[in-house]
Structure 1
């Protein structure tokens, strides 16, 4: 890798000709960058390129900053700062000096302590702000510091464990997730200015090394109920070797003497969670359920490791877990890697195929781990029902094979989790002494819908169309029920929303069938529609699509199979019908009766909040992992 000053002189001059962005010349800006590590021998081009990186990072969030350049600058560097309206200080400030100078700039919201050699990645401002917004207690953000070859130079540390980051691969799951930290040696940190007001900055003069100055800062922030947050998604590159720091031992003794009475060493209980994929919480109810379970467990103090069977590491869904503080093994990092890293107190293994594959594996490698098997739904019941409807002997035989696997999982696990009581009763017909716990789908509480009966029109259905019961529900409704509805309400449209829609379904599009497909936000779509229809003829478990509609105040017409496991009372929380004529009558009645519509909208929403809200499930989770 070539340093900027090794480039041909003409190219250096061309680079210097690019102006410093106006985003970095704002005196009253939310971001204050205190840039140190400069000397009289520092090439101007190094500073120029660093500022270009900062400007690019600020442009990603449409923000601006003030830059203060610190160090014994050469005449050329001083002239450069004057030319580009940058504040310069002819002093090489340590952390104490940076904090004292920064505190005087009352207009800034965030103080960035930067070394010139620490090159920020383009999204560093965006990622840092995401952390401060997500965690109001965050007073300090610690990035991952990595070499340009993809290995870790430094990052977080804790005082008694989790050491040895240097030289490890930067993409290793053990170092990728967000966490509260106790120490760091980072050359770039971001501090919330309001958190500095009550700190004793002068105490940092007792230390000789930047590592322990930062660690002192972290512990003073802790004393003021602020947290230091590490996140590998906030990242910068630094290729300079570590200097010899002979004063570390002296600083260590002083720090331990000062802070040892406040050390807390209680270990976090560990949970290994295995599912088919990363939780795609905006695509299906099963994913939303496991994502919410993970979020609640983290809030209860558990240390979670997540393993997707398909090894997917898609950033959107992986980072959603890592931002909660969950370690995610993916890509080239297998379940064996996760289990070699630490012992797990509990394992939570989801779905039939994963249970069949991994319960014996986990039991063999870690006999002391308590294993929970989460059925998600009872697969063999769904397959049996489909086989009966389709009169399919081959599918009926497959259902029996699935049944053997599913019952085997139940016998091998320490405890079985079902989504509904009905699912548990199906299993108890085969295993009467089964120890189970019901953890249903979990639905977020939403504000009251702004649109009422008169502002809405149309029928709507949503689903993942890779799931056969959803495909069948649409085709049967369109063929057997919708014509009966149109005989009475000829202008009513059916809107089809969801993922993995096949060409055959897209071909249903017409004047009265609108094929919407995938949408980023379901709530606005549901707020336009008057009735949710769910003509599910087979399936098992709790149907998240019904809970989602009800939680948003959208009244539902469903079959008994669709409403199974939710405890819905017909005419009170929803309308339930099981043949095409009755279903069409229910749709038309609900579509035309504003009084009935308002009643079901209100009572359905209240029922979901009471029985399937996050608060209702939290205590079950607390009792589960003990």
Structure 2
């Protein structure tokens, strides 16, 4: 492979070059003053694959000129310089068509050394920065050869007349030193020498002054000892140019907010003129230091860091950032949560805690908008996962395989600006999505690396220049966007097809009750159909920490105090934006359906029954003989029918509930939709399991009754049929009197955060409910885990399960005990029910099946 030696390019914070100047004219002649200006131009950069720049004929500034590539005295390529350059004037015009990019034909560059010239066709003079030397790779030189080169470097330095020439020499030398220092420290540590002592010994061995400087440096910047990272999942790439204090502060904050995800840090030093060279002396462990041989700019540094990365994911991070707890883990987890994610970015904060950016909007003319800028960080509008046009590259994560496939950050935008926006657009064109993840918070000291003046001569001016390049490339896509400032609340999430207000009593706790599991599953199904869901907890408007964040993490906007104090306030302030309202459970439908119908006549109302409460009370009255419960059932039935008559669409979970309500609700309004239940069977064999279990939330009276009934009436029979079998009672909010039920073969397990290992140890689940209504989450949970279930008729009601093939159904105490004894001892029958239950879950409760039913419901809403 041939290697071209490129000219220096600038990073975001590097001193900026003046505008390109034409090549120097030939020596003056007596007629030089009368001669017409000659064609001229500049070679601005090159790699082993291409060379680029601009060329122009002042006599015809509006006409593109032909540019030639010569290998010595051999013409090998001629192309027109016909790319628009807004930064190169043409006469009285601010820009001109004069840019070029010439491919280097690899098949012609086979000699050990080539001298390549770029010229305007018909001219003998090279453009500025030409010729270029291209040399083939050679075997490594010997140590003596290397030592012989050092006098040549020194003589070239003696002959230098400009600072630029000296920088060309110092860059490679300093880069080599930057790579030697960490290796020296590594070997010293292996020999048992302390890192700081080794650094000072090295410095003092050369001069006292150098030793004093390093001693002062290490005193001001104590060692940042990171854990080792042998197999990083994420590679954090930090491009830097100067500003070492910010780089150190960034790494120190990373150490305080240490991720749980395995990671490495790659600091890419773009020829910094400050203490950055000595970063290896104050870091250890997962931090790797790379120094560019020449200043190449922000994009080049990011791409170099990505090329050296070992992780599956790349996290590009500015050095002028401070990191908060969970910053990396939240980004990484999003890729598992959203398989269609191609890029995930952080919430950026100002040092005072206000928002700098909560995802970006790109308007029709290519100009950007930092959504949420200046807002409070806990504003509900800014705190849920959502798609964004782009996220600023100060903190973004991308799969390395995808980044490599797309060719990294595009050097079309060198040295910096719009490369992150362009990457987001290319990722979307690739069929993936870009997400803003607010649970990853990063403080960004804006303007430290590049300044803030887009009209000046610093790096920030490239924001304007590259904005034009970006617009030209994505003009057709941007035509679908609104003009600057129009409807930002819609533009910030342009992929949303409908907006749904979801009302429940409290924020869902899916690890505690089946109703919450159903709520979250239905939210996610609606999201898969393009809906944005906004959640309101009608009974408690507080933000409940991790419980509320669990919804925000999956893309649900959660409205809470002190921003909103009631459902009524939400309806008054934001009711006009919602297309539909999802009312979960009877109490919310009864309380709010009439209010919503009057205040939001345009919105469709969806009532998810969860279970038919009056039917549950009727059955409880039959079991307990309570006249009071029977009276409550009559009153409740009246209210439930009233709620059913007020809404547009009704959701039930089982066929039995559907048939029960058939005479009360029009067929076109009734939807039978279970919730998504993923199959998660354990591979633990029959022989490795023992005991039976019951799982429930004990704020629900039918579960309390079922446990008491099983211990009191079923266990005596079971002790006779299967001596020694243990009954384990699991679930949340267990009542105190359950301790009276405990025995050597009756164990109170309580709440179990991770059910997978617990279920893998059990042989059977029992669900001996004597009353209740609706689909039973415990039955779904059991079957989906590959744990055969013995259920009462009430527990299996309306689910369409085949007795003896997918579940075992039994009601009286002796029959329940005999069914348990049968499956507990018959491995073949146990295996048959295990496989049958898993097949039922896959067929009935898959993500595809539930989403398809919501698609039908949405079509009905549209038609209505």
TM-score by length of 1: 0.87
Partner in structure 1 of residue 164 of structure 2: none
CA 1:190 to 1:549, structure 2 compared with 1: closer, same or farther past 3 Å?
Answer: closer
Partner in structure 2 of residue 416 of structure 1: 650
Aligned pairs (5 A) from 1:49-128? 49-58=249-258, 60-70=260-270, 72-74=272-274, 76-79=275-278, 84=283, 86-88=289-291, 94-105=297-308, 107=310, 109-128=312-331
Residues 25, 66 of structure 1: 8 Å contact kept = no
SS of corresponding position for 1:271:
strand
SS of corresponding position for 1:307:
strand
Partner in structure 1 of residue 354 of structure 2: 151
Partner in structure 2 of residue 590 of structure 1: 823
Superposition deviation, residue 373 in structure 1: 0.4
CA distance in 2, matches of 1:108, 1:457: 42
CA 1:193 to 1:339, structure 2 compared with 1: closer, same or farther past 3 Å?
Answer: farther
Number of residues of Structure 1 aligned to a counterpart in Structure 2: 608
Instruction: Confirm whether residue 565 of structure 1 aligns to residue 810 of structure 2.
Output: no
Residue number among 774, 779, 791 corresponding to 1:541 in the alignment: 774
Partner in structure 1 of residue 185 of structure 2: none
User: How big is each residue's C-alpha offset from its partner over 1:313-349, in whole Å with a ceiling of 9 and x where there is no partner?
Assistant: 4444434433332222234343444774561222221
Instruction: Confirm whether residue 425 of structure 1 aligns to residue 659 of structure 2.
Output: yes
Partner in structure 2 of residue 486 of structure 1: 719
Partner in structure 2 of residue 219 of structure 1: 425
CA 1:498 to 1:595, structure 2 compared with 1: closer, same or farther past 3 Å?
Answer: same
Residues 232, 264 of structure 2: 8 Å contact kept = no
Question: Please, what is the CA RMSD of the aligned residues?
Answer: 3.3
Instruction: Confirm whether residue 166 of structure 1 aligns to residue 373 of structure 2.
Output: yes
Residues 28, 66 of structure 1: 8 Å contact kept = no
Partner in structure 1 of residue 748 of structure 2: 515
Superposition deviation, residue 550 in structure 1: 2.4
Superposition deviation, residue 461 in structure 1: 0.8
Residues 237, 302 of structure 2: 8 Å contact kept = no
Residues 459, 529 of structure 1: 8 Å contact kept = yes
Residue number among 606, 631, 638 corresponding to 1:404 in the alignment: 638
CA 1:278 to 1:94, structure 2 compared with 1: closer, same or farther past 3 Å?
Answer: farther
Residue number among 19, 26, 37 corresponding to 2:223 in the alignment: 19
Superposition deviation, residue 526 in structure 1: 2.6
CA distance in 2, matches of 1:400, 1:127: 49
Partner in structure 1 of residue 473 of structure 2: 258
SS of corresponding position for 2:555:
coil
Aligned pairs (5 A) from 1:399-478? 399-430=633-664, 435-447=669-681, 449-452=683-686, 454-478=687-711
CA 1:137 to 1:413, structure 2 compared with 1: closer, same or farther past 3 Å?
Answer: closer
User: How big is each residue's C-alpha offset from its partner over 1:555-596, in whole Å with a ceiling of 9 and x where there is no partner?
Assistant: 322221111111234334333233223333333333344443
Partner in structure 2 of residue 4 of structure 1: none
User: How big is each residue's C-alpha offset from its partner over 1:159-188, in whole Å with a ceiling of 9 and x where there is no partner?
Assistant: 259964111121122211222321344533
CA distance in 2, matches of 1:255, 1:148: 30
Residues 585, 608 of structure 2: 8 Å contact kept = yes
SS of corresponding position for 1:417:
strand
Aligned pairs (5 A) from 1:225-236? 225-236=431-442
CA 1:350 to 1:134, structure 2 compared with 1: closer, same or farther past 3 Å?
Answer: closer
User: How big is each residue's C-alpha offset from its partner over 1:70-123, in whole Å with a ceiling of 9 and x where there is no partner?
Assistant: 46433x454455565844559876542333433442545544443333211132
CA distance in 1, matches of 2:409, 2:832: 64
Instruction: Confirm whether residue 332 of structure 1 aligns to residue 562 of structure 2.
Output: yes
Instruction: Confirm whether residue 500 of structure 1 aligns to residue 733 of structure 2.
Output: yes
CA 1:337 to 1:203, structure 2 compared with 1: closer, same or farther past 3 Å?
Answer: same
User: How big is each residue's C-alpha offset from its partner over 1:206-244, in whole Å with a ceiling of 9 and x where there is no partner?
Assistant: 58973x332122223333344332111111113557824
CA 1:15 to 1:35, structure 2 compared with 1: closer, same or farther past 3 Å?
Answer: farther
SS of corresponding position for 1:195:
helix
CA 1:20 to 1:624, structure 2 compared with 1: closer, same or farther past 3 Å?
Answer: same
CA distance in 1, matches of 2:534, 2:388: 18
CA 1:283 to 1:91, structure 2 compared with 1: closer, same or farther past 3 Å?
Answer: farther
CA distance in 1, matches of 2:643, 2:375: 37
Partner in structure 2 of residue 273 of structure 1: 502
Residues 145, 186 of structure 1: 8 Å contact kept = no
Consecutive unaligned residues in structure 1, runs of 5 or more: 1-11
Instruction: Confirm whether residue 38 of structure 1 aligns to residue 242 of structure 2.
Output: yes
Partner in structure 1 of residue 208 of structure 2: none
Superposition deviation, residue 414 in structure 1: 0.4
CA 1:220 to 1:420, structure 2 compared with 1: closer, same or farther past 3 Å?
Answer: closer
CA 1:59 to 1:506, structure 2 compared with 1: closer, same or farther past 3 Å?
Answer: same
CA distance in 1, matches of 2:388, 2:375: 18
CA 1:542 to 1:134, structure 2 compared with 1: closer, same or farther past 3 Å?
Answer: closer
CA 1:333 to 1:391, structure 2 compared with 1: closer, same or farther past 3 Å?
Answer: farther
Superposition deviation, residue 542 in structure 1: 0.8
Residue number among 588, 603, 612 corresponding to 2:836 in the alignment: 603
- Which range is displaced more, 599-608 or 458-467? 599-608
Partner in structure 2 of residue 140 of structure 1: 343
Residues 176, 322 of structure 1: 8 Å contact kept = yes
CA 1:367 to 1:14, structure 2 compared with 1: closer, same or farther past 3 Å?
Answer: farther
Superposition deviation, residue 444 in structure 1: 1.5
CA distance in 2, matches of 1:141, 1:611: 33
CA 1:115 to 1:455, structure 2 compared with 1: closer, same or farther past 3 Å?
Answer: closer
Aligned pairs (5 A) from 1:387-402? 387-402=621-636
CA distance in 2, matches of 1:36, 1:493: 62
SS of corresponding position for 2:690:
coil
Runs of 4+ in 1 over 6 A off after TM superposition: 12-15, 24-29, 90-93
Consecutive unaligned residues in structure 2, runs of 5 or more: 1-215, 456-460, 482-494, 860-864
Residues 152, 170 of structure 1: 8 Å contact kept = yes
CA distance in 2, matches of 1:92, 1:154: 29
CA distance in 2, matches of 1:366, 1:37: 56
Residue number among 549, 553, 556 corresponding to 1:323 in the alignment: 553
SS of corresponding position for 2:630:
helix
Instruction: Confirm whether residue 245 of structure 1 aligns to residue 454 of structure 2.
Output: yes
Residues 23, 58 of structure 1: 8 Å contact kept = no
Superposition deviation, residue 424 in structure 1: 2.9
CA 1:579 to 1:88, structure 2 compared with 1: closer, same or farther past 3 Å?
Answer: same
CA distance in 2, matches of 1:550, 1:144: 40
CA distance in 2, matches of 1:158, 1:286: 37
Partner in structure 1 of residue 492 of structure 2: none
Partner in structure 2 of residue 375 of structure 1: 609
Residues 181, 229 of structure 1: 8 Å contact kept = yes
TM-score by length of 2: 0.64
- Which range is displaced more, 105-114 or 352-361? 105-114
